[in-house]
Amino acid sequence: MNRSSLRPILLLCALTFATACGTARRGEPIIGDHEPPNEDVARGLVAFNTYCTTCHPGGEAGLGPALNNKPLPESAIKFQVRHGLGAMPAFPERVISKEDLDDISAYLIWLRHTP
C-alpha cells in the first residue's frame, strides 16, 4: 500500500464529512413540493416507505442515521442494503427484490439532490 492508495479513501472521507454537515431534511414543509420526476423514482418512493422509512424517516435520521446527506454511490447503497452494516440488518432479495432495490436507489439519489 502506498500513499496514492490512501487518496480515494481520504477523498471519500472528506466528501462524507462535508456532506454529512448539510441538513438531511427533505420534507415538503422544509423544501416545498417535490413530485417524483419519473416512474422509477415514484416506485422507489413507495418501496422506501415500505422497507426503509421506519428507521430513516423521510431519509432523515431516526433509529438509524440520515441518508439524504450521505454521498453514497448507487453501488454502495445496494451493497449496504444487501449486506447490512452496524445495526442495520441485511435485506436479502427474497425481502427486497432487485427491481425494488433499483427503484429505492433511484429514489434516494433523486431525493439527495433535491434542493
Partner 1 sequence: MRDAMQCDCLKHPPPHIVLKRAAVQVLLLAVLCGTLSGCYELSTSNGGAETRFTPPRQVDPSDIALPDGYRIEVVATGLTFPTGIAFNEHGGIYVTEAGYSYGEYFGTPRLLRLEPGGGTTIVAEGSNPPWNGLDYHAGSFFVAGGTVYPGQILRIDPDGLITVLANGLPSLGDHHTNGPLVSKDGWVYFGQGTATNSGVVGLDNYDFGWLKRHPGFHDVPCEDVILTGLNYTTSNPFTSLDDRISTGAFVPFGTPTESGQIIPGGIPCSGAIMRVRAEGGPLEVVAWGLRNPFALAWSPDGNLYATDNQYDERGSRPVFGTGDLLWRIEPGAWYGWPDYYGSIPFTGGFGVPDGATPYEQFRDGPDESPLQLLRDHPSEPPHPAAHLGVHSSSNGFDFSRNPAFGHEGQAFIAQFGDQAPEVGKVLAPVGFKVVRVDVDTGVIEDFAVNKGKTNGPASWLKAGGLERPIAVRFDPSGTALYIVDFGVMTVNDGQTTPYPGTGVIWKITRTGGAR
**Residues in the site for partner 1, rule: CB under 8 A?**
1-3, 5-6, 9-10, 12-13, 16-17, 20, 23-25, 27-30, 32-33, 45-46, 49-50, 53-55, 57-58, 60-66, 70, 72, 76, 80, 85-89, 92, 94-95
Phi, psi (rounded to 5 degrees) for 85: -165, 130
State which H helix or E strand residue 76 sits in: helix 74-83
Smallest distance, Å, CB 11 to partner 1? Answer: 11
* Least separation in angstroms between CB 61 and partner 1: 3
CB nearer to partner 1: give 53 or 114.
53
CA–CA distances in Å: residue 79 to residues 74, 76, 93, 96, 100: 9, 5, 12, 13, 14
Alpha carbon distances (Å) from 60 to 18, 26, 70: 17, 8, 11
The residue among 3 and 113 lying less far from partner 1, judged by its C-beta, is 3
Taking the complex as a whole, the smallest distance from the CB of residue 46 to partner 1 amounts, in Å, to 5
